[in-house]
Amino acid sequence: MKSVLIFTLSLITLGCSNFFVKAPVLLTKVEDEIKVICEWGSQKFDLCQYQTQQEMIKALMQEMTLDEKIGQMTQSVWHNNVSPEIIRDKTIGSIIHTQGPTPGPDAMDWINKFNEFQSRALETRLGIPLLIAVDAVHGQNTFEGAVIFPHNIGMAATRNMSLIKQAAQITALEVAGTGFNWTFSPCIAMPQHEHWGRVYEGYTEDRDLTTAAVIASIAGHQGTSLAHRHTIAATAKHFLGDGATDGGIEGGNATMTDQVMRETYLPPYAAAVDKGIASIMVGFNSYNGINLHQHTHLVTDILKGELGFKGVVVSDWNGGIRFGEPHTVINAGVDIAMQPGNHDEFMSKLKASVLDKTVPMSRIDDAVNRILAMKFKLGLFSDPFGKEEFATSIGSDKHRAIARQAVRESLVLLKNENAALPLLPTESIAVVGEHGNNSGLQSGGWSIQWQGQAESYRGATTIFDGMNAIGSNVEYAEQGCYPGMAADKAVVVVGENPYAEGFGDTENLRLTKAHKNLISGCKNLNKQVIVMLISGRVLLIKDELADSDAFVAAWLPGSEGAGVADFLFATDGFKPVGQSPYAWPVNYADIPLAQDAEHALFTFGYGLQDY
């Protein structure tokens, strides 16, 4: 059955003009494939005579030159040696936003900037629209003022798939409201080694919980149709085994048998494919000695062949050149290469490899077919521009309320003795440590900046802010407890500083001496000590646990510190629900640690469910 969706006052290109007018756009949906209804105006390439999406794609591809096809397979950073005119002249098919300049402080600045790039893409000979992507991995975390959710490690601790879906829905709205149509999320690595600097990007070490989370995330980001204005394309990453590298080294080698790969690491991707994930990103890592960007067996034979993935395989950063000549990556099955400012090198080398038949034309056509199909499914041929109606909802109270719920449900109560928790609003309380009053530190990496930041950011609520709004006598003591302090209870907020990717790889999985001293200093003054651990992974905490009356794994809660306050004060009768997504080692030698290891400090799934 046909259903017709009518969007009025959408920007479209008419003919070959260099300006845009307001006109109605009609989209017809037939079994989730989008057809363009052409009565509203002319196009650069006449698609009106074709009746199905696949017929339109075939006609476009027959018209395209090799340069135009390679352009579609190329992605560049919009602010890195790229201009709207270069997008037009090189027929580049997608751009990304990442670390670097921003289009401006307001959402409309972002929409207007990316609309400018989109308009130049529509001025090309065939008028093929752009994919515009961002690493929105826990909310629209590149835009200051957006809602930033707990990182995936915290979302998994909630065990609340409905909440994971809601977070993805809100992320999609705030991403669309800043001009994007594609996110590189969710990360479904199953980290097995705490040394890895990306543990927090994955949900958990557990296969089944990861699978449930990715299904919920896809449903939130992509909805029932990518053509809807409130949905965006999602990306499962990083295929395959990125969280299982030897020693937890970023981009290292994952050594395992094919049986382990199939039983443990492949199922979440199979679920993602089954649920219609739009794209999958290959990893920096290798699998048994072969880098994933060049792993024909895993990418082409298994992902595209065995699992039947029909979407787009995208490289990671500089992936079209970083691991070898472009032909090795494209022949392995990568469809879009992310080339930050060096698109010319990638495009010229790939073209040479096609001309000398190192890369078969069939491989190029397969990639372009997938890319065009994704653009049609997103409705970009009729509705290519930023979704202005969502700009005003970015950082709204409604969105923040869901993130606040996610924070309080993500916290895992590891210890509670001597009636330390819940706190009473009338008690005299000290919030101790820099992490207790700094939204940048509480959010971790991929928060405003790629590596995160040590400063608070606009729109966020710190843990102290949240507690001060509930308690009548809450003091902030950044440097620690001191003689004569009136507070009877000290909420000592300690943990890791922000990091991302390889910068987080470390063999030091303990708190700093300064943070240890914050805990012991309060204990030595006979305060009741409630430790809040801000971290992107489980740490070695045996001694700190012994020095505390209560201990909470807070992970990386994001912008809504008030959710931590809700947890501590049991707001509206709240009781802890968080369960650890990882087992906790007692000693360094325990790493890596099995989920159910008898010698674990806390096993996978642990979490006190009452105060």
163: exposed, middle or buried (C-beta count within 10 Å: 0-12, 13-18, 19+)?
buried
At 155, the amino acid letter reads: M
Could you identify the residue written with the tokens 């048998």?
A: 257
Is 95 within 8 Å of 87 (Cβ atoms)? yes
Distance between CA 201 and CA 217 in Å, rounded? 13
Residues whose CB falls within 8 Å of the CB of residue 16, separated by 6 or more in sequence, listed in order? 44, 123
Distance between CA 57 and CA 42 in Å, rounded? 18
Residues whose CB falls within 8 Å of the CB of residue 4, separated by 6 or more in sequence, listed in order? 26, 27, 28, 29
Of the listed 409, 501, 544, 566, which one is catalytic? Answer: 501
Distance between CA 557 and CA 564 in Å, rounded? 8
At 360, the amino acid letter reads: P
Active site residue 544: no
Which contiguous run of DSSP H or E holds residue 489?
A: strand 489-495
Is 522 within 8 Å of 480 (Cβ atoms)? yes
From 442, 543, 546, select the one nearest 498 (Cα to Cα). 442
Cα-based angle 470, 473, 474 (whole degrees, multiple of 5): 75
The bridge status of strand 279-282 relative to strand 312-317 is parallel
Distance between CA 151 and CA 199 in Å, rounded? 10
Tokens of 421: 């928790």
Residues whose CB falls within 8 Å of the CB of residue 399, separated by 6 or more in sequence, listed in order? 147, 170, 173, 174, 393
Residues whose CB falls within 8 Å of the CB of residue 285, separated by 6 or more in sequence, listed in order? 238, 241, 242, 245, 250, 251, 252, 253, 254, 291, 292
Of the listed 174, 316, 465, 549, which one is catalytic? Answer: 316
The bridge status of strand 550-555 relative to strand 412-416 is antiparallel
Distance between CA 167 and CA 408 in Å, rounded? 14
Is 179 within 8 Å of 391 (Cβ atoms)? no
Neighbour tally for 222: CB within 10 Å = 23
Active site residue 560: no
Enumerate helices (H) and strands (E) in the chain, giving the number of each: 20, 20
Helix, strand, coil: what percent of the chain each, to 5?
40, 20, 45
Distance between CA 417 and CA 476 in Å, rounded? 23
Distance between CA 89 and CA 344 in Å, rounded? 12
Tokens of 605: 């799934």
Distances (CA, A) of 50 to 53, 282, 350: 8, 34, 31
- According to DSSP, residue 284 is labeled S
Strand boundaries in 109-215, DSSP class E? 131-134, 182-183
Give the residue numbers annotated as catalytic, written as ranges: 316, 501
